[in-house]
Structure formats: structure tokens, C-alpha cells
Amino acid sequence: MSKVKAIVLRAAGINCDMETEYALELAGAEAQRVHINRLIEDKNLLDAFQIIVFPGGFSYGDDVAAGKILANQIVHHLFEPIRTFIDQGKLVLGICNGFQVLVKTGILPGEDSAERQADVTITWNDSGKFEDRWVYLAPQTDRCVFIESGRQIYLPIAHAEGKIVTKDASTLERLTSEDHIAFKYVDQNGNEGDYPVNPNGSIQSIAGLTDATGRVLGLMPHPERFVRPTHHPRWSREESVDCDGMTIFNNAVRYIRENFGLKPLPKKEPLTL
């Protein structure tokens, strides 16, 4: 095996799978889009991959609640195989709808017990509308392998249900004390703020979560939508544009290469203008 292999999970209503596949391939992975029904039929398919991505979209039309039906499929058919996948040192990424799925399965923030799955959820934006804008994100942990420590990034969001809430104050304290907060929404200067800096009203401006291993990441913004300089809203007016979304995918591929005995990719210059 010479290439990092990533699976991009598909289901009815998922619509960011091709962009996610492209971003993974830019990072040097061999990515494959696989429908959830194929994975349920043959759970051993996961053995051939080191990264699984739950991409964005509107799985099953976000019926009941965003990500809820797909989350139920995972809980009843794939929870243990995915748990084993994580225990093997592999990586899981959930983007937007995929993040909603990971939270509603309990994979994030990392509770195996069904009784604890309701401690954290993602619900309707405070604005009462679909938010489609660009946001700044500040990393909050050094533990998550997807994150470049200390690097503030700029990514687009597109969601109506992106507000992270906790059951109570003790749950929020646990997220903080156990280092589960991956990203927070901030302004250009790195400061937290009200809407639109925090576009959905998430408690303590939380934009993403990680688990205890640091090998599972979920975030509401879309890194796969900023992997080329021309994706940036000011690409024609900036002297240089770093493709911030690629940091997530590059770090994932690099981690697998370094920890699964794969040769490093030839060093290449980042895409900039």
C-alpha cells in the first residue's frame, strides 16, 4: 500500500461528496465515494481505508432533524465498525451535515453510552434562517491531528441548523476541561463576538469538536469549499491567498502517512496567488 485511502460516505441528499473527494485527492489521498448501503452490506470495506469522511449536504432531506436519520443508520448498523476503525488509529472527519451526524450518534464528543448522546446536539440557528457566509475560526486544542495549532483559518458556512448546545453547564465544562473544543468562531482579529461573527449562536462560539483521541473532528464550516485560491471571495483583490481548507486534509493525509508506514509525498508548494 503506497497511498492513503479515504472513503467519502454517500447517502440520499448528501451533495458535497465530490468536492470532498477532490480535496482529499489534492492532499495526496486516493478517495472513493461509497454509498452507506454498500457499507452496511459489507462492513469489511472499512478495512481498506484509513480515513472516513462524512461530507456535507442534507442527508435524507434533514427530515426529523439535520443528520438524524443518517445518524440512526450509523447507530444501528455501523457504530461498532466505526468504533473499531477509530480504535485502530484511523481518522474520522465530519463536515457540516457530517458533523451533525457524528454528534447525533454520540461519536462526538466521544460518548459510547446512548444515555449520553443527548448531552450535546446541534440545532436551529438563532437567526432563524439559512446562513451562507464566510467565517474565521480559531483552533482551541493542540490534540486534534487535523488542526494546525495556532493558525486561524477562513472558511465558508452553509447551514440552517448549526447551533451547538449542551444539556447543562456541567456538560459545557466537560467539553472545555477535557479538551473537546476544536474550533471557535472569531473575528478577523481573533476575538469572539455576537452575530455575524458567531453565525448561528453556538454556545461559547463553538464551531467544531474533537474526541478524546484527537483523531475525530467535526466542524460546521466547509474546508472542502476552499481548496483553490479562486474559491476565496477576495481572490482577485488579495496579493496572496492561502487555501485554508487544505490544512484539514493535508494534516489528515500526513498523519496517516507518518503513522501507517507510508512514504511521504514529494514536497510541493501550496496553491497561492
Per the annotation, the verdict on 231 as an active-site residue is no
Q: At 155, phi and psi to the nearest 5?
A: -140, 160
* Dist CA 151 CA 244 (whole Å): 9
Residue 106 to residues 14, 122, 143, 251: CA-CA distances in angstroms? 20, 12, 19, 24
**Active-site residue flag, 232:** no
**How far apart, in whole angstroms, are the C-alpha atoms of residue 166 and residue 63?**
22
Active-site choice (16, 19, 96, 159): 96
144 catalytic per annotation: no
Cell of 201: 449562536
Indicate which residue of 19, 111, 131, 224 is catalytic.
224
Q: b vs e for 191-227, b when ≥16 Cβ sit within 10 Å of the residue's Cβ?
A: eeeeeebbbbbbeebbbbbbbeebbbbbbbbbbbbbb
Quote the CA–CA distance of 82 and 8 in Å, as a whole number.
14
Q: Is 106 exposed, middle or buried (0-12, 13-18, 19+ CB in 10 A)?
A: buried
3-state secondary structure (DSSP) of residue 239: coil
Rounded distance between C-alpha atoms, residue 61 and residue 48, angstroms = 30
Indicate which residue of 16, 131, 159, 222 is catalytic.
Answer: 222
Which residues are tagged catalytic? Answer: 96, 222, 224
